[in-house]
A and B are shown apart, each in its own frame.
Chain A
Amino acid sequence: MAKQQPRVDAVIVGLGWTGSIMGMELTDAGLNVLALERGEDRTNEDLAYPKPADELQYGIRHTMMQKPKQAAVTIRRDLDERALPQRKLGAFLPGNGVGGAGAHWTGVLIRPTPTDLQLKTFADQAFGKGVLQDDMQIQDFGVSWDELEPHFTFFEKVCGQSGTTGNLNGQIQEGGDPFEGPRSEPYPLPALQDTQNTEMFEKAAKQLGYHPFPNPSANVSRAWTNPYGMQLGPCNYCGFCSRYGCLNYSKASPQTCILNALKQRSNFDYRTNANVTRVELAADGKTATGVTYVDNDGEEVFQPADMVILASYALNNVRLMLNSGIGQPYDPVARTGTVGRNYSYQVGGGIHCYFDDIEFNPFATAGATGKMFNDFSPGNFDSAQYGFIGGAKMHSSQASGTPIKTPLPKDAPSWGQGYKDALQKHYGHHMKLSMTGSVMSYRSNMLDLDPTWKDPYGMPLLRMTFDWKRNEHRLSAFMRDRLREIADVLQPDYRDESFNLEGSHFKVTSYVSTHNVGGAVMGTDPSTSAINRYLQSWDVHNVFVPGGNAFPQNFQSNPTDLIGALTYWSAKKIREEYLQNPGPLMSRA
């Protein structure tokens, strides 16, 4: 018999961004809320200077991240390949411990566009029959720009978003992104400082007729007090940002923006080293009764709760649904079921440019430092003629300048005297031109439970089936050509490039991004979405699933602004409607 804890009104699985937001909202509504976090506690004091300034520990050994030992993912590229466990981290780095990945993210806080939210509608209008792959399964999000706009605005205030406004209530503003959806309020704070690479990129992009603007940032440019009374200090461009905890109270994170306020509420509590293995369902399978977790002593504990919030990151949320029997697992052959359907990602590529005589001082940088343009996001250019849908943000970012990870020209020797010479010659003389591209959803890009491998608690691992498809190859080739034109303007002394072109497959060994999305997508049709447009399970009405899992396909922007906004959107509905009258918020018909 598992140990049993006293009942709570709501239990939150995972205390990263979405868990912290839900904690704030549900305690505001007067509920008794308990968060269960599988990792260690982690306070701002744990991130005090100089501790984070350690590339080996955090940048290379992934000390703050998910341990494959605890929760590995098995991966294959198509339905016929044998999936193998990702034994050490590589392509993506999910978070672990209080704050989740939000404690060590980069902090590019950018909205998708209104078109991104209604991509299927856009595709039906802009693409003739047969242009797109027939195994594509793209969908609208089921929530509109106008519905989400107030929640973007609020989350951006929570984070002290820094940047340059491009579209204020429909009025285009100088220096911002003219392609952004209309904002109801300007950015809370001005943009971060330029660096050498952003200055060069901006100039070249403008010369080619594009519309560059500063990367929207959650590394704050000025002192900021957020709506919860939490204070952030101006970023000091410490250069240890992406993959690191912030040593200066300057990066928006669950810690700096929410948790210190939340922890002081008497109706909030949290337990660490509490690894939730499954959601328990009532006999009829229609409601959850709580969750089972394994505590620090390896003991199973049942935590009864009236509501369960899965806030454990997109991949873990899907796995918990599958391991708990919430919803019908997706079958890619029969095309039935929804849990695991439409897993998606982002596609990267770029050109490394080396300039012998230019000092970039890449160590003096914020995580989000960069300039980008959105001229190539969907609807802003005619991609149908190139046979692909989607888009890319084109940018020169400089997330850190730490030496172990510094790139060197491809033809430089990788060891011996030549390596040392190359390191000396090129360190600090490099900038990158990048594209971050959307990835569509497809019949066979999906998540399910692995038939072979299990975690230490005996639960099956998540199995990921994912590969780049023709659409992403074509998109990459198109964006490569545009980036080459920028490189031609810049005229580096040396350049090399890498893109996911035709014939290239997903590799798990080197970092791509921690922008894993989909798998339990939101929508208005229960036959193609696992959760409704309020992030409520269609099948088990007291389970809500905020996270990137809700994206029916991915767009070109970083995901967390939308993840935060969707979480507030869901919380609003819970507070205004669900708590008064618990039950399905949308009917299945």
Chain B
Amino acid sequence: MASQPDNASRRAFLRNSFMMIPAVSIAGGVSLTAEADEPAPNLSEYQPAFFNDEEWSFLLAACDRLIPGEAAGKGPGALDTNVPIFIDRQMDSPYGHADRWYMEGPFVLDGSPDLGFQYPYTPRDVYQKGIAMTQAYCQQQHGQRFEQLDGDTQDTVLQALEANEVDFASFGETQKLEASEFFSSLLANTKEGYLADPIHGGNKHMASWKMVGFPGARASYRDWVDQHNVEYPLGPVSLTGERG
């Protein structure tokens, strides 16, 4: 028969960990990655690791329309918060490489959309192909690249992508990648970069969290949970201990 385990060392550990008040311990300098300790870069000085110059110009312009900046109204925009940097970094993450996905063939491309993503493409592929075909469409429709168009025209291009009115097949797509699939990846990643912890490269200085009133990684509200219908008074903290 096995004896009852000895939990003494665990208890000692628990005594300490229950005392922990997260916001204080963050200020003590918890750090998850070295790079995140560096101040957030300026978008204008950032050298993308994945996107080439032309793709990068598209990404900057598209993000700016998807979540426009201060000039267009209250609150920061995608460019103010380094969203393109987030997307560039995601392309080199397991996500960008579809590391966790099932990517074995055969790829059946005529099934119901309710059965989910079936392309033989990683997110990296989707961006490269999607941007190239969108640029080809802009050239064909407007004789200019996307980033050269005025804001309203850019919006009509994005709307056409969203509504799947751009026929990628006519620009050389062979695996039935649809414009709406590209658009929805771009939009989802843009929102992620806007609202995720700054450790991932976007949400610079937690600006979007300040705008909506999300306290970030504080993760400790036992003293607050019974204060109903009262606005939470403290600003956000991030995973690396930045406070806003």
Contact = CB atoms under 8 A, between A and B. Distances in A.
Given A27-B2, A264-B6, A416-B66, A237 B214 contact: no
Contact of B221 (A238, A454, A505): A238
Interface residue tally on A, bucketed by range = 35 or more
A55 interface: yes
Nearest to B75: A420
B46 interface: no
A542 interface: no
Interface in A252-266: 260-266
Interface string B73-109: 1110100000000000000001100111111101010
B101 A404 contact: no
Interface residues of B, number: 81
Contact of B232 (A51, A69, A364): A364
B17 A454 contact: no
Contacts, number: 240
Interface string B191-231: 11001110110000000110111111111111011111111
Contacts of A506: 114
A402 B106 CA distance: 37
Which of A84, A196, A419 has its CB near the most chain B CB atoms (within 10 A)? A84
Interface string A15-51: 0000000000001101000000000000000001111
Nearest to B193: A56
A452 interface: yes
A50 B26 contact: yes
Q: Chain A binding site: helix, strand, loop or mixed by DSSP? A: loop
A578 interface: no
A48 B13 CA distance: 12
Interface in A427-455: 427-428, 452-454
B219 A509 contact: no
A403 B7 contact: no
A249 B196 contact: no
A345 to B, nearest CB: 15
A189 to B, nearest CB: 15
Given A231-B7, A237-B225, A424 B211 contact: yes
A195 B220 contact: no
B214 A229 contact: no
B197 A55 contact: yes
B121 to A, nearest CB: 10
A233 B14 contact: yes
Contacts of B2: 27-28, 30, 265-268
Which of A237, A265, A360, A415 has its CB near the most chain B CB atoms (within 10 A)? A415
A290 interface: no
Interface of B: 1-7, 10-11, 14, 17-18, 20, 22, 25-26, 30, 32, 65-68, 72-75, 77, 94-95, 98-104, 106, 108, 111-118, 155, 158, 187, 190-192, 195-197, 199-200, 208-209, 211-222, 224-232, 239
Given A69-B101, A364-B232, A509-B116, 17 more contacts: A53-B219, A54-B197, A69-B103, A85-B104, A196-B228, A229-B4, A231-B7, A248-B18, A261-B5, A403-B214, A404-B192, A415-B190, A417-B68, A420-B74, A424-B212, A453-B104, A508-B114
